[in-house]
Chain A
Amino acid sequence: MTADTATARSRGSLAAEMARARRRRYRAFIGRLFAHRSFLLGFVLLGGIVVLAAGANVIAPYNPDQNDYHSFLAPPSAAHWMGTDEFGRDVMSRVIFGTRVSLRIGLGVVVASGILGTLIGALAGYVRWLDGALMRCMDGLMAFPGVLLAIALAAALGPSELSAIVALTVTFTPRTARIVRASVIVTKRMLYVEAALAAGAGHLRVLFRYILANTLSPLIVQLTFMFAVSILAEAILSFLGVGPPPPQPSLGNIIAGGRAYIQEAPWVTIYPGLAIACAVLGLNLMGDGLRDTIDPRLRTVREPR
């Protein structure tokens, strides 16, 4: 009885010690991450955009749909820092509200394709007889160049935020699945996986608890870049008119609207593009920083967009 409580106590303190060690390692990792110059720069850039999007109601100087009948296509001024568009709407307010759509769709794609891609990649990597069929399907989806498939899918589903997320998820999931599968295949052969199986752990437990935990680093790096690519792709969908429809401002549809007036009012086109570039550059820099910090061996891995 006393021996039991002693082991329980020592086991408790061992667990506490391990938790402390994990926290220390985690803090050291965060420290290294923020010491990385590009990560820090990217964090500041993206952070700025996130603050704008989150505080849009407070920060935006005007209602994005409100028309100022005294100034149509007015150049940037003290009253309208980024000028006004052809309906006399304040471009800056529209850009600020537009960042919400971009971030929301980008995040939606990252979450959905992160989950789907992990499931498909894990199954393909772990269950041998599924591998061929699953990966041929992924290859087929990847055979459509660029965002062409997303454009067609978004058009077929009808323009809305949800269909943009679905279309981009279908387009980008194969990339996630490939990364996860490659990582699972390597990890599957590790001795500790064999040990876990020998100790009687079920396949599901081994897959989720031991193997997938090890694919997390490349996955996080990949998803950061995918966030960036999704924002760019969403802008393309909105620009072509198959993204979330106006009057709700999205960075892509503001540019599409400004295009007709690009000679007399280039500011309507320029500023939303700068906002996209800031968000995407921020994410790309963060991705580079994460990749270097998490695993220097991944240095050369960079999916093209």
Chain B
Amino acid sequence: MLRFLVRRLLSAIPVLAVVSVVTFLIIWIVPGDVTAEIAGPDATPAQIVRLRQELGLERPLLERAMVWYGHLLHGDLGRSYLLNRSVAAAVIERLPVTLSLVALGLLLSVVMGMLLGILAAVRHNTWIDQAATSVALLGLSVPDFWFGLLLIVFFGVQLHWLPTGGFVPLTRDPVGWLRSMTLPSLTLAFTQMGVLARMTRSSMLDVLGQDYIRTARAKGMQAWVVIFRHALLNALIPIVTMVGILTGVLLGGAVVVESVFSLPGVGRLIIGAIQRRDFPIIQGGLLITAATFVFVNIAVDILYGWLDPRVRDDR
């Protein structure tokens, strides 16, 4: 188990290396002069030149890369051009909002997706199966930001049930926090549960066709005990892998959903930075979200190896 763990952690190194190269190069492909935009329309040419020197944009690419990596290896992601503070602090400060949105979205999509999948498998080839499969497919086919806007119109503007946006910290007002997170996490869950629902359905169908399920039924066990204890537990293994992938997808979706619901998370920080060309924030945000995703996947793999010994012995 230890060897498996170490090997899995080591495998993250090349991936993170590629991630950092791509992140560094993004600023390099920008056409035109960024400094003029940062300095603003009133800046004199002399000010722009000074700013360029300050930002280190005058130096050759390789040298800039060396400096960037030097700082990166010390955990220094640079300073934001516009917020005038360290990138790491700005990103980490907003990480809890994003992570709690992802966690709630994950919880909801796992519950909804698995229920739909189980329902479809248990009532295989009936109208219930069709309805469940259709809902799952519909969720996969609508744009997440658009669905979020519809929820705002319906639950926020028409019914006044929930706030149309904004964020309440959990520590200040737990009920307000839950109210402010309900629509965003519902948006994420509805648009992402489809993959899990399909996966659960096919995995359950596989298991439900096995002999031991027939035996369990034949000896007179209650239907729901058979479904949840015998079938679902065995259908769970492929579903666990899916949860790792789903987390990444939700992390990506959160970026968009945060901008729709004005939640002060990393996604909105990055989008704001993109609009104002604040490249250190863009780079830092990309790097930290990608690293988060990589480590979530490692955690899922380790969980998987613990659930199913074949995995850790094989590889």
Contact = CB atoms under 8 A, between A and B. Distances in A.
Interface of A: 136-137, 139-141, 143-149, 151-153, 155-158, 228, 232, 235-236, 239-242, 252, 255, 259, 262-263, 266, 269-270, 272-273, 276-277, 280-281, 284-285, 288, 299-300, 302, 304-305
Contact of B143 (A139, A232, A285): A232
B268 to A, nearest CB: 11
Contacts of A139: 14-15, 18
Given A143-B15, A241-B275, A262 B259 contact: no
Given A152-B26, A156-B27, A284 B149 contact: no
A145 B246 contact: no
B137 A281 contact: yes
A270 B153 CA distance: 10
A149 B286 contact: yes
Contacts of B199: 300, 302
Which of A139, A146, A270 is most buried by chain B, counting CB atoms within 10 A of its CB?
A146
Contacts of B27: 156
A281 B141 contact: yes
A270 B18 contact: no
Contact of B255 (A148, A158, A232, A281): A148
Given A139-B14, A145-B293, A156-B26, 10 more contacts: A139-B15, A140-B17, A144-B286, A145-B250, A146-B251, A148-B289, A269-B149, A269-B150, A277-B138, A302-B199
A263 B246 CA distance: 33
Interface string B60-92: 000000000000000000000000000000000
Contacts of B270: 148, 151-152
Nearest to B153: A266
A141 B23 CA distance: 10
Given A140-B14, A300-B199, A242 B249 contact: no
Contact of B141 (A140, A152, A280): A280
A172 to B, nearest CB: 13
13 contacts: A136-B15, A140-B22, A144-B22, A145-B251, A147-B255, A151-B274, A156-B27, A157-B29, A236-B145, A262-B152, A263-B153, A263-B157, A273-B142
Given A152-B286, A273-B142, A146 B249 contact: yes
B237 interface: no
A155 B275 CA distance: 8
Contact of A255 (B19, B149, B152, B282): B149
A239 B138 CA distance: 20
Q: Which 5 A-B pairs have the closest CB atoms?
A: A146-B252, A140-B18, A273-B146, A145-B252, A145-B251
Given A152-B282, A240-B259, A255-B146, A143 B290 contact: yes
A262 B271 contact: no
A1 B15 CA distance: 65
A151 B26 CA distance: 11
Given A240-B259, A240-B271, A145 B142 contact: no
A263 B19 CA distance: 41
Contact of B290 (A144, A153, A242, A304): A144
A193 B152 CA distance: 57
Contacts of B275: 241
A277 B282 CA distance: 30
A132 B211 CA distance: 41
A236 B14 contact: no
A157 B21 CA distance: 17
Interface in B270-300: 270-271, 274-275, 282, 286, 289-290, 293-294
A267 B129 CA distance: 33
B142 A276 contact: yes
